Amino acid sequence: MRLDPTADILGLVDIQPTFMPGGELPVADGQAVVPVANRLLALFPHAFATQDWHPAAHTSFASAHPGRQPYEEIDLPYGRQVLWPDHALAGTANAELHRDLIQTRIEVIVRKGFDPALDSYSTFFENDHLTATGLDGWLRQRGFRRLFLAGLATDFCVAWSAEDAARLGYEVFVIEDACRGIALPTTAGRTTMDEARDRLKGLGVGFITSADLGA
């Protein structure tokens, strides 16, 4: 696949130690995305990154809801919410971008989830689907039209970002070997990974590997 440096941008979603083995909300094999992301950064002249950035007692934390356990679901004013272990606490080392990630081509970093009453998976909108992060305006002013997404986790923050980007009119690709998923069980033997893939394919999101880009 040929890249257009004027239209294409790499999006690195939540490549933070908090989501890797040893972190507070580990995604299996999550650390493996770092070297792939670095190879991709060598190909893309432009990149952005996001960070989950939560205050203590965030509403998405199971610890904020007495009697609830991580990975249970509850209804909150903005919709259905998975309750997570405390993670990505603002200002902590595990909430920083991974130290081995080469950041010289990352032009903007979007921090999300800092409102204590509202979670945020997508790089474009908080989970109320109304509160914008500002990333769309930045991308449009710069003239980017194709987004290539990598990071953690495939079935949550990467998938929600891809879905919003497609609905906003971007051409979107998920780079599968540069992502890792959580794969929570849903129904009838399916997981959140299965459901995310179905949703994204229905919106025309492409699934590629770093090899397709020559990385």
Would you please indicate which residues are annotated as catalytic (active-site) residues?
Answer: 14, 112, 157
Q: Using an 8 Å Cβ cutoff, are 140 and 116 in contact?
A: no
Opening angle at CA 150, ends 144 and 155, nearest 5: 115
R_g (Cα) of the chain, nearest Å: 16
Tokens for 131?
Answer: 């509160």
Torsion of Cα atoms, 116 then 78 then 86 then 12, to 10°: -90
Which residue's entry shows tokens 């609830």?
68
Q: How far apart are alpha carbons 197 and 164 in whole angstroms?
A: 14
User: How far is Cα 49 from Cα 31, in angstroms, rounded to an integer?
Assistant: 16
Q: Dmax over Cα atoms in the chain, in whole Å?
A: 52
The token pair that represents 67 in the structure block: 């009697």
Collapsing DSSP to helix, strand or coil, 12 comes out as: strand
Amino acid at 121: Y
